[in-house]
Amino acid sequence: MKKVVIIGGGVAGLTAGVYARKSGYEVEIFEKNPVAGGQCMGWNRKGYHIDNCIHWLTGTQENSALRKVWETIGALTPNTEFVQTEKFFTCYVGEESATLWKDVERTKKELIQLSPEDKTEIDTFIEHVKYAACCQMPVEKPMDMMNIFDYLKMGKSMAEMPKVLKEYGNINLEDMAARFKHPVIKAVFTDYMPKEYQASSFIVSYATVVSGNGEIPVGGSLAMTNRIIDKFEKLGGKLHCNSEVKRVTIKGNKAYGIELENGENIAADFIICATDAMEMFDKLLGRKYMNKKWSACFKDEESYPLFSGFQAAFSIDRAMFAHTDTVFIDCEPFNINKKEIRRMSLKSYQYEKDFAPEGKTVLQTNMIQFDDDYRYWKSLNKDDYTGKKYEFAERMKENIEKKFPELAGHIKLLDCWTPVTYERYCNSYHGAYMSFITKKDVKSFSVKGTIEGLHNVFVASQWIQAPGGLPVAAAAGKFAVQRILKKEKRSIMI
């Protein structure tokens, strides 16, 4: 039995592990942290649970191709329940608000009632959200393995998407917001994602939630990760935590295995790198294996920016807060890294009863950070870093209390974290928790998931395709195994 060694126990690595075991390979996963999961993770603080990852999970629609992947790896099971919510999110500007509901007709009615003068643009927006509901991520096989019939099938299933790309594919969210006159509606399009994002990405995201293909699994990120681990181990896979890999051992155009930081060598027939991309090239393989596309995108931060966040989690009394989802509010302006912060998000986890003691709930905040912000946090010494974290968390708390005065005296900080936290725990380049942003007038990043010059090393990572995230990670894990099967002249249909 040939052996596959996987470096990294995030969703991509675990997915690759499940598919490799189902394909008959001996499989070992090596994860540097005490627990697997990567960024699909949650942790406990002061009797509360903090969820790091899932705001919604793309691929929950029954009988969809991505749903089949989630079911195959155990992420979703017949017993998995989904959160019952009516909303995507709500934006407040002053005392006025607008909500993107799952019911698009309700959204349309509310937005037009809020701003009749924006009716034409609102109608166009809603119409294209309906078009985008057909958008499905192709996960049956890698694009370069598709034949003409695969492309015809994909084109037929997503026949309405060209309309979305024609209307919104060449503008960003800041441009889209400028089409509207009302300040609350403008905020709807610049709050949820970085304003640099291609507008069509936002349309697809909202359409995913509207169509029922973007539900929230009860239990959140850690529970989903644990289901995948359970599936992998029941299939006979071996997961080694607290096992950091030092390098891939290479001779000529072939990798022979890996060397752990403790000096142990593990032999392998095939190696799948399921790590951060820069970690792979800087440490595991060496920069000489980074092709021109990777190199150009990492160097060009203007065209291919990365984003992370400064985040904080608070405990609140459940009865004191009416929202059960995500809201955006105004801030009293303050600066992080000389950048003025005027808006912030709040996500209530009231729907997760097990995340907090009886009568309490977790409220999380997030402020988007970019490459320069990462460098700011990285430049601070230990004391200044800790001090600034808690200073900014206190600013967040003050803004929450100003908007919702009923929370005064009922809100306490549980934890706060920065882009450097993601670097420390996940080796994330610049603390990024997704791949490159797709900007207007810039070609979207994608690579095959192979390494030039090494015929038995493959990439399973959200970094193989912008904008990354859980669906890309899972697909990348499956694709990496399909590439191994193709090399062995076996059927890739798994």
Residue 219 pLDDT: 97
* Whether pLDDT at 136 is above 90: no
Query: What's the order of all strands across the beta sheet hosting 254-260?
Result: 245-251, 254-260, 265-267
From residue 268, alpha-carbon distances to 257, 385, 478 in Å are 5, 41, 19
Domain boundary among 170, 191, 215: 215
Residues 225 and 188 in one domain: no
Both structure tokens of 136: 């499905």
> What is the CB neighbour count within 10 angstroms for residue 301?
14
Rounded distance between C-alpha atoms, residue 150 and residue 453, angstroms? 29
Residue 13 pLDDT: 98
Residue 453 pLDDT: 95
Mean pLDDT of all residues in 413-426: 98
Residue 155 pLDDT: 81
Domain boundary among 154, 182, 215: 215
* Whether pLDDT at 151 is above 90: no
Residues 234 and 270 in one domain: yes
In the beta sheet, which residues pair with residue 311?
366, 417
Residue 238 lies in a domain: yes
Rounded distance between C-alpha atoms, residue 136 and residue 113, angstroms? 32
From residue 325, alpha-carbon distances to 147, 344, 367 in Å are 42, 14, 17
Mean pLDDT of all residues in 193-212: 95
Residue 86 pLDDT: 94
User: What are 344-361's pLDDT values in tens digits?
Assistant: 999 999 999 999 999 999
Residues 128 and 177 in one domain: yes
Contact criterion met (CB below 8 Å) for 256 and 262: no
Q: What is the CATH number of the domain that holds 22?
A: 3.50.50.60
Residues 210 and 94 in one domain: yes
In the beta sheet, which residues pair with residue 343?
330
Residues 242 and 148 in one domain: no
Residues 280 and 330 in one domain: no
Residue 162 pLDDT: 94
Residue 440 lies in a domain: no
Residue 339 pLDDT: 87
Residue 122 lies in a domain: yes
Q: Which of 368, 328, 360 has the alpha carbon at shortest distance from 347?
A: 328
Contact criterion met (CB below 8 Å) for 403 and 343: no
From residue 472, alpha-carbon distances to 147, 402, 421 in Å are 21, 39, 22
Rounded distance between C-alpha atoms, residue 105 and residue 264, angstroms? 60
Residue 249 pLDDT: 98
Residues 316 and 353 in one domain: yes
Residue 457 pLDDT: 98
Residue 75 pLDDT: 98
Residue 101 pLDDT: 98
Residue 251 lies in a domain: yes
Residues 7 and 114 in one domain: no
User: What are 377-387's pLDDT values in tens digits?
Assistant: 999 999 999 99
In the beta sheet, which residues pair with residue 368?
309
Rounded distance between C-alpha atoms, residue 367 and residue 376, angstroms? 15
Residue 321 pLDDT: 85
Greatest extent of the chain over all pairs of C-alpha atoms, in Å: 68
Residue 49 lies in a domain: no
Number of domains in the chain: 3
Domain boundary among 431, 456, 474: 431
Residues 284 and 177 in one domain: no
Residue 158 pLDDT: 84
Residue 320 pLDDT: 82
- 73 — pLDDT class (breaks 50, 70, 90): very high
Residue 56 pLDDT: 93
Q: Give me the domain span that covers residue 210.
A: 87-215
Contact criterion met (CB below 8 Å) for 426 and 39: yes
Residue 318 pLDDT: 82
Strand-strand pairing, 48-51 and 307-317: unpaired
Residue 82 lies in a domain: no
Contact criterion met (CB below 8 Å) for 383 and 356: no
Residue 265 lies in a domain: yes
Residue 225 lies in a domain: yes
Mean pLDDT of the chain: 95
- pTM for this structure? 0.96
Rounded distance between C-alpha atoms, residue 30 and residue 50, angstroms? 25
User: What are 223-236's pLDDT values in tens digits?
Assistant: 999 999 999 999 99
User: What are 11-33's pLDDT values in tens digits?
Assistant: 999 999 999 999 999 999 999 99
* Whether pLDDT at 197 is above 90: yes
User: What are 247-303's pLDDT values in tens digits?
Assistant: 999 999 999 999 999 999 999 999 999 999 999 999 999 999 999 999 999 999 999
Residues 332 and 409 in one domain: yes
Q: What angle do CA 116, 199, 39 make, to 5 degrees?
A: 125
Residues 183 and 256 in one domain: no
> What is the CB neighbour count within 10 angstroms for residue 140?
20
Residues 423 and 313 in one domain: yes
* Whether pLDDT at 319 is above 90: no
Q: What contacts 24+ positions apart, CB below 8 Å, involve 208-213?
A: 208/56, 208/58, 208/135, 209/56, 209/88, 209/102, 210/88, 210/102, 210/103, 210/104, 210/129, 210/130, 210/133, 211/61, 211/133, 212/60, 212/61, 213/58, 213/59, 213/60, 213/61, 213/64, 213/133, 213/136
* Whether pLDDT at 153 is above 90: no
Rounded distance between C-alpha atoms, residue 33 and residue 241, angstroms? 6
Work out the percent of the chain whose per-residue pLDDT is above 90. 92
